[in-house]
Structure 1
Amino acid sequence: MSNSLSERRQMVRAAMKAPYLSREEEHELAVRWRDNRDEKALERLSISHMRLVIAVASRFRNFGLPLGDLIQEGHVGLLEAAARFEPEREVRFSTYATWWIRASIQDYILRNWSIVRGGTSSSQKALFFNLRRLRAKLNGSRQTMSDSELHQKIADAIGVKQSDVALMNARLSGPDTSLNQPMLDNDGASADRQDFLVSDAPLPDEIVTDTIDTERRRRWLFSALGVLSERELKIVRERRLSEDGATLESLGEKLGISKERVRQIESRAMEKLKAALLKSQPDRMAYSG
């Protein structure tokens, strides 16, 4: 820890001692790096802008992450800016690099601030990094607002839904809690927090067993359907195997017979199916019946 702190202080001192670059020097170094991959040019360009990295990183200290890590991520953004910078454009490198430095630091914060990953869209980033400031500003006004009204004003200012503001506010207000955090049960015995979470969902082995049984029964049924005539199969499919289930009357009209005749054919078809299933799986049919 002490070595890390010492290295950080040395880095800050070196950054503050680095001379500023003129526009002409900055342009020359950027061209040398882009065209010739001159490492010395990149090093000088990087060192001269480390004070900018430190300044941007310092704005994000309130998120609880080590300043040294933020500076390191900002340096990554600075190098990315150097790789993408176009010297011919009439823009100072510091102006261009500031966006990349800030973006790199913000991505790092979003990845490491919480054990629960948040959204990474532009609107979610804007909400994450501006919620506290806007909330403090609105709370500091003399206007009295409910939580719902406060969330709506913030949502309007950032351009997101009110529900997103409420969810992000809850995440920023409450600390993360591990499911493996030790707790005491009613008897005083030690247990993990996850032991107290009850789920009504089937167990994995039950899901697998049900899936296998369902597939097996499906194969038996389709095999048994082979004993039916074409008309019997049509009636069973539309009466028993379709989602809606056709009526006797509608099937009678389709087939040109009475609904009583449809009922008789269906009854006979079901008896043939039962006999076929008993023949192919006598033990299981006897157990299920």
Structure 2
Amino acid sequence: MNSVQADKKLIKFAMAAPYLDREEERQLALRWKDNQDQHARNRIALAHMRLVVAMASKFRGFGLPLGDLIQEGYIGLLEAAARFEPARDVRFSTYAGWWIRASMQDYILRNWSIVRGGTSSAQKALFFNLRRLRAKLSQGDQRLTEQAIHQEIATALGVSLADVQAMDARLSANDTSLQAPVSQSSGGEGTEKLDMLASDEPQPDEQVSEMIDSERRLHWLSGAMSRLNEREMRIIRARRLAEDAATLEELGSELGISKERVRQIETRALEKLRHALVEAHPEMAM
């Protein structure tokens, strides 16, 4: 069975599910809430599968399989059924619509592009409404410039103009591999997009400078540590220099003192180190 046939079978199954009247729906919801009756929850969900199908059809324009959208919507439907409060006297379909839509939108955002998009509510609204608003504005006044359309959308959705422009560019372009060739040399070796990306690593001279500074600071710290007694040095090494810092309680147990005493010794040792470093290197006080 191919995907089209599977989708048709799933839709037919959803449409054949019996409706629930208000009282029957309430009784099933009470059985689930009070007794954790899984059968009651599943009956509520099954009766509203047609709602999932209808909403999935609205999101087909994003190019994802209808069957996958329906499955994601069903997950949202089950979540709605699990959280539904019958005491609120609201029909389940009204409550479930938000959960179904949210589940499908999250799925689309995860799978529409290999590049992860924004997940804030404003970015989601922009992603799912930009095309609709653009089409509406273009039809309403064909004299509007691209800049004016973007500004109208930004105002309508409460986002910045830059966000609208970035999202529009993203929705208009396809994903491109970083291994895609940019140019081809005469020797047969090409330049790839990956080769054109700027590295966020420090420049070589910055790396060397940082290494020298780190070595210098370690040397200064080593000299200052000589001012500490054995117990102070043990606490500083365990609390400040170890990869997994020991707790005050652990050190107190090891040294046979209270954790408050460990804290006092640590504070005093840090003050000693600060004085020693400033005394030897006054520029550190600035």
Q: Same fold (TM over 0.5)?
A: yes
The match for 1:193 is 193
Deviation string, structure 1 residues 245-276 (Cα, Å, up to 9, x no partner): xxxxxxxxxxxxxxxxxxxxxxxxxxxxxxxx
Q: Which of 237, 243, 261 matches 2:282?
A: 237
Cα separation, partners in 2 of 1:47 and 1:210, compared to 1, 3 Å: same
Alpha-carbon RMSD across the aligned residues, in angstroms, is 2.9
The match for 1:67 is 66
Deviation string, structure 1 residues 95-129 (Cα, Å, up to 9, x no partner): 11011100111111111111221211111111111
The match for 1:132 is 131
Hey, what's the Cα distance between the residues in 2 that align with 1:93 and 1:26? 8
How far apart are residue 211 of structure 1 and its match? 3.0
How far apart are residue 47 of structure 1 and its match? 1.4
The match for 1:38 is 37
Amino acid at match of 2:138: N
2:159 paired with 1:160? yes
The answer to whether the 8 A contact 2:41-2:82 is kept is no
Hey, what's the Cα distance between the residues in 1 that align with 2:86 and 2:123? 32
How far apart are residue 193 of structure 1 and its match? 2.4
How far apart are residue 7 of structure 1 and its match? 3.1
Aligned residues: 234
Cα separation, partners in 2 of 1:78 and 1:206, compared to 1, 3 Å: farther
Hey, what's the Cα distance between the residues in 2 that align with 1:63 and 1:21? 32
**Once the two structures are aligned, what percentage of the paired residues are identical?**
56
Hey, what's the Cα distance between the residues in 1 that align with 2:99 and 2:198? 45
TM-score, L = length of structure 1: 0.71
The match for 1:218 is 217
Q: SS state of the match for residue 87, structure 2?
A: coil
Q: Which moved more, 1:61-70 or 1:33-42?
A: 33-42
The match for 1:101 is 100
The match for 1:281 is none
2:124 paired with 1:118? no
Q: Which moved more, 1:213-222 or 1:85-94?
A: 213-222
The match for 1:273 is none
2:18 paired with 1:11? no
The match for 1:20 is 19
The answer to whether the 8 A contact 2:81-2:96 is kept is yes
Consecutive unaligned residues in structure 2, runs of 5 or more:
227-277
How far apart are residue 154 of structure 1 and its match? 0.8
Cα separation, partners in 2 of 1:40 and 1:208, compared to 1, 3 Å: same
The match for 2:267 is none
Higher Rg: 1
Hey, what's the Cα distance between the residues in 2 that align with 1:99 and 1:61? 18
Cα separation, partners in 2 of 1:236 and 1:37, compared to 1, 3 Å: closer
TM-score, L = length of structure 2: 0.72
How far apart are residue 189 of structure 1 and its match? 2.6
Q: SS state of the match for residue 53, structure 1?
A: helix
Deviation string, structure 1 residues 229-252 (Cα, Å, up to 9, x no partner): xxxx889836xx676xxxxxxxxx
Amino acid at match of 1:74: G
Cα separation, partners in 2 of 1:212 and 1:21, compared to 1, 3 Å: same
Q: SS state of the match for residue 100, structure 1?
A: helix
Q: SS state of the match for residue 180, structure 1?
A: coil
Cα separation, partners in 2 of 1:22 and 1:222, compared to 1, 3 Å: closer
